[in-house]
Structure 1
Amino acid sequence: MSWNKPLPHATPISAPYWEGLKAHEVRLQQCEDHGHWLFFPRSHCPTCGSRRLAWRQVSGLGTLYTFTVARVPTLPEFSDEMPQLLAVVELDEGVHINTTLVGVDPAQLAVGMRLRPVFDERPGVATLLRYTPVDSAHPDVMTDATADVQAPAAEPAPQAVASKRQIGHKDLEALRGLVSEQYSGWSNAVQVTQDMINQFAALSGDDYWIHTDPERAKRDGPFGGTIAHGALVQVLASRLAMPMDFEVVGFGNIVNYGSDRLRFPSPVPAGCRIHGRYRIKSVEAVKSGTQLTMEINIHVVGQDRPSVINDLVMLYM
């Protein structure tokens, strides 16, 4: 998985802290004159003013001081990690560290619960510090191959597939019975990578920098990084297995007749996952057969607002 989220930049003062995380150690500064523990990294002790500071390894254990469950992404890049569990941890040495929690159900969070450190290596160029309950089964180190038990689960193993209800393409009464204001359940999720975006840009000729230049998009763009083409996200609907419990049968041919409406209300940042759902919007008899309009909504996982709204018109002949 390509990392699409902001990363820290070490300074000469903070470098030992980040080097410690890469070694899977939590390191804090301690005042050598009076023993005060410090965090964040500084050039002098804020309690006594001493500049005699030493870096020392600590256990990293602590308690949950406070937390919030963010259900709106703090940045677009975090749309695929909803909800974000933002927390302040009070280490046993008394300092407070801002972090995110992993491997825990938000409903189980409680101020004062004991936490242990988790070293997140997924960014590659830096290791980040997360926290999880001390009795959690979450691994101590997160990698691309390590599933976060708080993250959306991998697609379940196939179960016995129930028979789909078959409806003849000329059975207008039965087809109109599918029309609903309610959306289906969610499809599988697909990750939209930068490589995928680059390939689409090369194929379509739309290589505008907001799609293909991560550095410029981060510096000058309105979304903090590159985003997928709306047309690409629309096309990826074919990779989303919508949970349909019916099948239209008896036709000789089916034609994708186009779209009555196609909108791209919100961006899909590179690296995010998308999934979709649908509803049958209308069914009508036309001269050449039966026309069915299906509204498909594609969302970034965790986002309430869709990234694509497509009223897809299909003609059964």
Structure 2
Amino acid sequence: MDWNKPLPQPTTISQPFWDGLKAHQVRLQQCADCNHWIFFPRAHCPRCASASLAWHEVSGAATLYTYTVARIPTLPEFADEMPQILAVVEFDQGPHMNTTLVGIDEAALKVGMRLRPVFDDRPGSVTLLRYTSLDSDQAGVIEATTAAPAIAEPAPSAPRRQVACKDLDAMRTLVSQDFSGWSNEFVVTQALIDQFAELTGDDYWIHTDPEKARAQSPFGTTIAHGALVQVLVSRLTLPLDFEVTGFNNMVNYGSDRLRFASPVPSGSRIHARYRIKAVEQVKSGVQMTMEINIHVVGDPRPAVVNDLVVLYM
């Protein structure tokens, strides 16, 4: 699977730090003149301005300085990681660093708690430095994977309620302000986006050029076409708890409303839920409006809102 989250871009000055993480080591700079430990990587000591800086391997042991729990993603790409525990940790040598805590229950968080490093290998050539508590079961290395994530399938459902389309009162009992549970999940890969672009002729770079999108797009990555995400509802099994019966023909009559409310970055997992918005008698039969919301997994904002109209005749 293409990695859809932004990753650090090492510089000449910071490269030894990232090389250390790739080797599952924590490396910090120290000034040879005043012995001051330094992070973030620099060309001169911030204490005495000396350029005599050397890299040293350290244990990485640290203390939790402060933290916050983020429940709304700062970028759509991080929707599948919510909630995130964003933290500032203090190395035993003194410098502070921004990081993410993993393998810790929120209830156990406490400023001053002791932490150990976790090396998070990302697909490609970058390893990130996370932290966890000393007594956590979290592995010290999170291995990179290029396999698609496991796709959650809906749980077996109870027998559906039978509702006769000609019984208007019974049909109207389906109308609700509440949404259903979630469908199964589906991965929107770059390859799928490229296939849709070739089929439709919509090959605008924000969909098909990952390198340019990474540099110029406000999303930091390519995104799926809204029309593609809409039609992918056919790959999502909505957990319908009813079955309409007694009709001779059922027609997809179109949409009363169709909105592409938020982007779907390449590599995202999507799922959907629904509610019956309206049921009414029309000249040719009974018309039902089903509001379908497609979301990136973990994002409270829908990516697609579709008021689908179904006509039972």
Task: Note whether the superposition's TM-score is higher than 0.5.
Answer: yes
Q: Tell me, what secondary structure is at the counterpart of 1:98?
A: strand
In structure 1, C-alpha distance between the alignment counterparts of 2:277 and 2:110, rounded to whole Å: 44
* Total equivalences in the alignment: 312
What is aligned with 1:155?
Answer: 152
In structure 2, C-alpha distance between the alignment counterparts of 1:159 and 1:231, rounded to whole Å: 28
- TM-score, normalization by structure 2: 0.90
Contact 2:120 2:144 in 1 (8 A): no
Residue type of the alignment partner of 1:155:
A
2:204 matched to 1:204? no
Shift of 1:176: 0.6
When structure 1 is superposed on structure 2, of 29-38 and 258-267 the one drifting more is 29-38
Shift of 1:222: 3.2
Question: For structure 2, which runs of at least 5 residues remain unmatched after alignment?
Answer: none
What is aligned with 1:193?
Answer: 189
What is aligned with 2:216?
Answer: 220
1:1-317 mapped onto 2 (5 Å cutoff): 1-145=1-145, 155=152, 161-317=157-313
Q: Deviations over 1:258-312 (max 9, x none)?
A: 1111111221122222222111011123343322110001122232221111001
Q: Tell me, what secondary structure is at the counterpart of 1:203?
A: helix
Q: Tell me, what secondary structure is at the counterpart of 1:307?
A: strand
The root-mean-square deviation of aligned C-alpha atoms, in Å, is: 2.4
Residue type of the alignment partner of 1:277:
R
Shift of 1:103: 2.4
Shift of 1:62: 1.2
Q: Tell me, what secondary structure is at the counterpart of 1:256?
A: strand
In structure 2, C-alpha distance between the alignment counterparts of 1:13 and 1:292, rounded to whole Å: 62
Q: Tell me, what secondary structure is at the counterpart of 1:236?
A: helix
Shift of 1:195: 1.4
In structure 1, C-alpha distance between the alignment counterparts of 2:144 and 2:234, rounded to whole Å: 26
Residue type of the alignment partner of 1:311:
D
Q: Is the alpha carbon distance of 1:69 and 1:277 closer, same or farther for their aligned partners in structure 2, counting shifts above 3 Å?
A: same
Residue type of the alignment partner of 2:245:
V
In structure 1, C-alpha distance between the alignment counterparts of 2:105 and 2:266, rounded to whole Å: 27
Residue type of the alignment partner of 2:123:
P
When structure 1 is superposed on structure 2, of 83-92 and 33-42 the one drifting more is 33-42
Shift of 1:134: 2.4
Q: Is the alpha carbon distance of 1:271 and 1:107 closer, same or farther for their aligned partners in structure 2, counting shifts above 3 Å?
A: farther
Q: Deviations over 1:106-134 (max 9, x none)?
A: 34322122222222222322111112222
Shift of 1:70: 2.3
Fraction of identical pairs, as percent? 69
Shift of 1:316: 2.3
Residue type of the alignment partner of 2:134:
V
Q: Deviations over 1:184-214 (max 9, x none)?
A: 2222332222111111111121111111112
In structure 2, C-alpha distance between the alignment counterparts of 1:38 and 1:29, rounded to whole Å: 5
In structure 2, C-alpha distance between the alignment counterparts of 1:170 and 1:102, rounded to whole Å: 54
Q: Is the alpha carbon distance of 1:250 and 1:107 closer, same or farther for their aligned partners in structure 2, counting shifts above 3 Å?
A: farther
In structure 2, C-alpha distance between the alignment counterparts of 1:285 and 1:40, rounded to whole Å: 67
Q: Is the alpha carbon distance of 1:146 and 1:7 closer, same or farther for their aligned partners in structure 2, counting shifts above 3 Å?
A: closer
Q: Tell me, what secondary structure is at the counterpart of 1:232?
A: helix
When structure 1 is superposed on structure 2, of 227-236 and 82-91 the one drifting more is 82-91
Question: For structure 1, which runs of at least 5 residues remain unmatched after alignment?
Answer: none
When structure 1 is superposed on structure 2, of 171-180 and 298-307 the one drifting more is 298-307
Q: Tell me, what secondary structure is at the counterpart of 2:295?
A: strand
Q: Is the alpha carbon distance of 1:166 and 1:227 closer, same or farther for their aligned partners in structure 2, counting shifts above 3 Å?
A: same
Q: Is the alpha carbon distance of 1:37 and 1:140 closer, same or farther for their aligned partners in structure 2, counting shifts above 3 Å?
A: same
In structure 1, C-alpha distance between the alignment counterparts of 2:146 and 2:299, rounded to whole Å: 24
